[in-house]
Amino acid sequence: MQSKKFKNYIIFLWLLICLVACKSIKNFSLYPINEFFPIENIGSDVVISLKKGKYVTKDYIQIENINNLVINGNGSTLTMSQLPNYNNPAILKFFKCNNITLLNLTIIGLNENLGEKSLLHNIFIYNCKNIKFNNINCLNASGDGIQIASDASQINEYSRNIVIDNFTIDQCKRNGISIINALDVKIKNGTIRNTRGHSPQAGIDIEPDFDQYRPGVSHILLENLIIEKNGGSGIAIPYIGCSNNITISKCSFIENDVGVYNCGLNVKILGSLFDNNKSCGIIAIRYPEFNIPIDSTIIRNNRLIGNPKGIYYKGSYGEIVGNDISKTSEEGMELAGLTGYDQTVIVSNNFIKGIKGNFGLVNNFSKFTFTNNNFENISGMSAIALYNGKGIISGNKLDSIKGIGIIVYDAIVEIKDNQFHHVFEEKIKIFEGNFGNTSAIVSNNQVFMNDGDKTNVFWDLNKKSTAKDNLFVSKEQKQKSLMYLVGFKYLINNRID
């Protein structure tokens, strides 16, 4: 008798524990195809290991105010059986949770375009901390594959310390991943592809909802990702909320509209591949009318191949270093300064080749430094074109340039220590410009003359520049009769060898 009472007491206690735990699980009605998804077991300080199966929910699953939960799907799938009748839901939602681990689960959406006001996301994270996803697949979302959001007005409640690792997101209608308000997010070792159907159609969209709370997103690492065939940008970072401290490293952007579109602050784009994106490899841009602070975008050691334009940079204090840009139908690199900003850009150690557009590099910055770049096989108007500013062009090598080597127009520039090989028109051509302040100091350059050269070599149409200590290497005697230095105001110690 005593044993029976004790047994009944244990059963009652177990039911009570399940009831308390289930108070945090709202709005669900789930039934199995193969196995039952154990919603009643979800609670704090719980580890759940599912038997591999297919699970269907009639309504969204909300896990709220839960701490220290592990769910291992063991290769299971979860989907929803019908469309919800309310706005912006998700199949699986984590709300105000801490220390959650989700493993080995595939969530399949309904693959229907529900429109802007009725998005069904696969996973929604809201005001959560210390979330880890590993081996999670999100397929066919009618909205976002994964959305990370928070109450924008309460920074202490922002979702933070989120890790998404080893995943695939495919065939989502709006975004693969949306980061709306969050801090300290790492997304790595995954694939996001085929996002299309509803704007912005990005692989990853980092975009707070409200501009007045800045920064809305901060300290984001995106690493070792394959982001391909999305209708919008591979990664989009619009101006809203001034997202900052974002690192994009060792990623591949293939056949998106734009590889990376960046309006953020302190953004680093490092060691990544940009292959045949439809509009541009990298766009980094500022909008002064939206009160966006000066940026310091770093674009370093990337490979850009087959994009119509390699890099378009409109900002201040940028560094574009060590990139390999090739096979563009437009400019390899376009630099556009911003009126009213202190415009400075450093471009060094880049290899720009196989450019079919007008210019290998075209500049409109007020301050610039171009050093140790290689330009090769440029078939347009010129390898380098300067249409504004004051700066230095030093240590560059220009080879197989069908047009002009360097165009100077409305710029004040020092051109020194460069090498010119197989430049078939003028090696340097200095125009008068519209504002009358064009001039150059051209010094210590080496020019290797080509067989059959017929044009002036260095030509100053403005008649204000200085040429000194330049060396012209000529293989044929007849080339020595060419006009090597035309129009310069000062000629000092130039030599023909």
CATH number assigned to the domain comprising residue 187: 2.160.20.10
Closest CA to 118 of 58, 186, 187, 198: 198
Give pLDDT tens digits for 153-184: 777 889 999 999 999 999 999 999 999 999 99
Instruction: Report pLDDT digits (tens) over 115-161.
Output: 555 678 999 999 999 999 999 999 999 899 999 999 877 778 899 99
At 114 the pLDDT is 59
| Residue 69 in domain | yes
Say which residue the tokens 């495919």 belong to: 170
What pLDDT score was predicted for residue 479?
52
Domain assignment present for 91: yes
Residue 188 lies in a domain: yes
- Residue 463's identity, in one-letter code, is K
Q: What is the mean pLDDT of the chain?
A: 86
Q: Is residue 429 part of a domain?
A: no
**What is residue 15's predicted lDDT score, i.e. its pLDDT?**
35
Question: Which has more pLDDT, 133 or 462?
Answer: 133
In this prediction, residue 420 carries a pLDDT of 96
Domain total in the chain: 1
Percent of the chain with pLDDT over 70: 84
368 CB contacts (<8 Å, ≥6 apart)? 335, 344, 345, 346, 347, 386, 389, 390, 391, 392
Residues 6+ apart with CB under 8 A from 454: 482
How far, rounded to the nearest angstrom, does the alpha carbon of residue 194 sit from its chain's CA centroid? 17
Is a pLDDT exceeding 80 seen at residue 10?
Answer: no
- Range of the structural domain that residue 48 is part of: 24-198
Using alpha carbons, select from 389, 351, 350 the residue that is nearest to residue 368.
389
Contact between 164 and 184 under an 8 Å Cβ cutoff? The reply is no
pLDDT digits (tens, 9 = 90+) for 237-271: 998 888 899 999 999 999 999 999 999 989 999 99
For the segment 77-127, what is each residue's pLDDT rounded down to a tens digit? 999 887 766 666 789 999 999 999 999 999 999 876 555 556 789 999 999
Residue type, 385: A
Q: Are 85 and 53 in contact (CB under 8 A)?
A: no
Identify the residue with better confidence: 475 or 72: 72
Question: According to the model, what pLDDT value does residue 86 have?
Answer: 63
Q: Please state, as a whole number, how many other Cβ atoms lie within 10 Å of the Cβ of residue 424.
A: 16
CB 122 within 8 A of CB 92: yes
| Confidence at 460, pLDDT banded by 50, 70, 90 | very high
The pLDDT tens digits for 188-214 are 999 999 999 999 999 999 998 876 676
Q: Return the number of other C-beta atoms located less than 10 Å from residue 289's C-beta.
A: 7
* 284 domain-assigned: no
Look at residue 50 and give its three-state secondary structure. Answer: coil
* Interval 435-455 mean pLDDT: 83
Q: Is residue 446 part of a domain?
A: no
Q: Is 11 helix (H, G, I), strand (E, B) or coil?
A: helix
For residue 7, what pLDDT is reported? Answer: 47
Q: Does some domain include residue 420?
A: no
User: Per the domain annotation, does 422 fall within a domain?
Assistant: no
pLDDT at 212: 67
